[in-house]
Amino acid sequence: MASIIELLIIFLGAFGINLIPFVGPSNLLIASTAAVGIVGADPTTLVLVGTLVAIGAALAKGIHYMITFFISDHLSQKRRQKLDADAVKVKRWAFLMLFIAAATPIPDEPVVYPLGLMKYNPAKFFVAFLLGKLSITIIGAFLGSWTEGVFSGILSQSTMIILSIALTIVITVVLLKVDLGKLAERFMKRKDKKPEPETQTASED
């Protein structure tokens, strides 16, 4: 059984690592490494380790989210109106997108920051992100050092940082510059448009 000091270190470590944008390792690896450091951990302890890592990660990314949430207030009125219109289009998928981003090794920032700019509901953000992290950190705590060896070789840390920064910049620029509402309307019009039936005129004798 882990001591209170060990559990506090795990929580603060996960929070501190996730507080640094773009550079944090997968939370699966954080939970895995934390579990490996606890000798003779029982299943209850492993679940607790995964839960603490998930809560620390969700709180840290929640700070990132709220920063972009309030930055959005300082955008021009035109851009603010466009973001509001885009938010209506994506809010039905936002919860799922957050869950997937949190539950997989893909970078969190390209999803977290744009939704902050759109002022997605903070409570829903935290619940979706926490549930996603729980689904991966508890698994990571149980798999331990085995998962650390497997997942650390998929992508290098520098590659993940570059991909995360690039995706965040691209998505943010698209949100601010491209009218997603008009693009969606054009797509739906093309989809609904059906070819007109050919009219044949009867030939006169």
pLDDT in tens, 10-42: 999 999 989 988 766 788 888 888 887 665 667
Express as a percent the part of the chain with pLDDT over 70. 63
CB 107 within 8 A of CB 163: yes
Domain contains 193? no
- The count of structural domains within the chain is 1
Higher pLDDT: 38 or 118? It is 118
Q: Is 40 left (phi over 0), alpha (psi -120 to 50) or beta?
A: left
Arithmetic mean of pLDDT over the chain: 75
> What was the pLDDT predicted at 147?
45
Q: Taking the alpha carbons of 92, 94, 95, 96 in that order, is the dihedral positive or negative?
A: positive
> What was the pLDDT predicted at 184?
52
Res 71 pLDDT > 90: no
Domain contains 65? yes
Domain contains 39? yes
Domain contains 174? yes
Stretch among 5-9, 56-60, 90-94, 155-159 having the lowest mean pLDDT: 155-159
Domain contains 113? yes
> What was the pLDDT predicted at 107?
78
> What was the pLDDT predicted at 176?
54
Q: Helix 43-71 and helix 4-19: axis angle, to 10°? A: 30
Domain contains 190? no
Stretch 88-103: mean pLDDT, rounded? 84
Res 168 pLDDT > 70: no
Domain contains 134? yes
Domain contains 198? no
User: Residue 34 belongs to what domain range?
Assistant: 4-181
Quick check: pTM over 0.85? no
